[in-house]
């Protein structure tokens, strides 16, 4: 059985009036809504934040212990990868400048 929400035209117009689309802030507005829409999918939400830089996040105090107060940007290489593919892992770490939670990926510009 399909269940539809009963949203009136008045409610739609009221919402659009209270939340107008601002073309100059399109990237911000779209990605903030995407964050909300994908919040239950942590990997997608986190990846889109890294791609777009939105929403503007504030690191939690617990982040200070591992990331010096920064939001993590990536996962370090696992020990198994370092053991089984050490030559390539070390080369990648050298190019990236580290293997920390805060080391940026090549495409991570925000």
Provide the pLDDT confidence category of residue 61 given band limits of 50, 70 and 90: confident
Q: How far apart are CA 27 and CA 49, in angstroms?
A: 12
Count of alpha carbons within 13 angstroms of residue 82, beta-carbon side: 7
Radius of gyration of the chain from its Cα atoms, rounded to whole angstroms: 20
Interval 6-21 mean pLDDT: 93
What's the whole-model pTM score? 0.59
Q: How far apart are CA 79 and CA 65, in angstroms?
A: 21
Quick: pLDDT tens for 34-47: 999 998 998 899 88
Q: How far apart are CA 39 and CA 28, in angstroms?
A: 16
């Amino acid at each position: 059985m399909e269940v539809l929400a009963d949203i009136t035209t008045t409610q739609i117009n009221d919402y659009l009036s209270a939340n107008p689309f601002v073309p100059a802030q399109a990237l911000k507005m779209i990605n903030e809504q995407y964050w909300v829409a994908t919040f239950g999918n942590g990997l997608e939400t986190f990846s889109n934040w890294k791609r777009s830089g939105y929403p503007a996040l504030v690191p939690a105090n617990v982040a200070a212990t591992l990331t010096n107060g920064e939001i993590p940007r990536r996962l370090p290489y696992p020990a198994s990868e370092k053991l089984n593919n050490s030559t390539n892992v070390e080369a990648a770490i050298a190019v990236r400048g580290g293997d920390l939670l805060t080391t940026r990926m090549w495409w991570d510009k925000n």
